[in-house]
Amino acid sequence: MEFPLIFGLQKTGLPLIVTSGKLKNLCFLIDTGATHNVLFAYVYEHFKNEFIILNGTQNIMGIEGEYKETPIIEATFNFEGNDYTSTFSVLDASEAVTQVQEETGVQIHGILSTDFLIKNKWILDFETYNVKCND
């Protein structure tokens, strides 16, 4: 699979992917600086029945730079015909999400971290602005 990130970069300045399947039209930011996958709390509340709640919590640094204790869930989404299952921290980042939406016109539903990229063998090609994955 090879997916161009150029459209999202041109429109918003952000590397974005949009899901399909049960979790249709969720917009994830690919963040190579993030260490944990994040699903924003308002998305979790809306699709609560689609996730598996895992035992325990984890501390992650929120968008504002403060550590927050978050519940951990497992989510499966479809992207370009492939299903991807991963763990996500559920984070309330309403202010940051609203600010991004006001600045770009795009509502972001979560963040895919370096951990996701490595586990799923996604490669970001910074010359062609593509995500490459050998499934």
Domain assignments of the chain as residue spans, ordered by start: 2-133
Q: How far apart are CA 65 and CA 2, in angstroms?
A: 33
Residue 130 above 80 pLDDT?
A: yes
Q: Which of 38-42, 75-79, 102-106 has the lowest mean pLDDT?
A: 102-106
**What are the pLDDT digits (tens) for 26-61?**
999 999 999 899 999 999 999 999 999 999 899 988
* Helices (H), ranges, the chain: 6-12, 41-46, 94-104, 114-119
Show the tokens assigned to 9: 């970069």
Q: Which of helix, strand or coil describes residue 81?
A: coil
Overall average pLDDT of the 71-78 stretch: 96
Question: Given this structure, which CATH class describes domain 2-133?
Answer: mainly beta
Its sign, for the CA torsion 22, 97, 38, 55, is: negative
